[in-house]
Chains A and B, each alone.
Chain A
């Protein structure tokens, strides 16, 4: 069946270090992925997306890598800041593309 999951539930990094959050997906036909950031008590915020015809996409301090061979997605955050502390979700279209299925989420904690 279709599923999106994350390898690590919690990731702790030192301020200034780079963070890497991973996501595995099982549907090899998936052609679009999104990363969201959710701060405590708030709604998820769109960070970056990537389509399956790309291997890499960069934003401001964030990079998403897609490895279709092993069905793996990662979010890299450069020079992690305290404001990056949040839960990060990956998501992919399911149900014929009419809805998104979200992974469990990874809690990123930035230590000063």
Chain B
């Protein structure tokens, strides 16, 4: 089956620890994205990548880092510098950037205590 996978679905960490969220796609999409969603809120863009080995900051990149070493993979690291890391994190991919539909993974719910 083609699609986007995120793992794990639920993740718990202690404050001060870095944590990496996985995102893999087999849709052969060039562009990939990371969003953060807080309860009752919309999606806010953290980072996006239009091509391998290149990525750009979104609207709320502080405290996060990404890499794009492979077309299929776009992992997100939530660092200890992120003040409020507890949230629902969504990964998406698309074939041609914004002017086509983005397809989303199932999300990872991160809880930091």
Contacts and interface: CB of A to CB of B under 8 A. Distances in A.
- The reply to whether chain A is a binding partner of chain B is yes
Contacts, number: 60
Contact of A32 (B99, B106, B107): B99
B103 to A, nearest CB: 7
Interface in A72-112: 89, 91-95, 97-105
A102 B92 CA distance: 13
Given A41-B107, A42-B106, A44-B90, A99 B45 contact: yes
A99 B101 contact: no
A43 B101 contact: no
Contacts of A99: 33, 45, 48, 58, 97-98
30 contacts: A31-B99, A36-B104, A41-B107, A42-B107, A43-B4, A43-B90, A43-B92, A43-B104, A43-B106, A45-B104, A46-B101, A49-B101, A89-B42, A93-B98, A94-B98, A97-B97, A98-B56, A98-B97, A99-B33, A99-B45, A99-B48, A99-B58, A99-B98, A100-B33, A101-B45, A102-B43, A104-B41, A104-B42, A105-B41, A105-B42
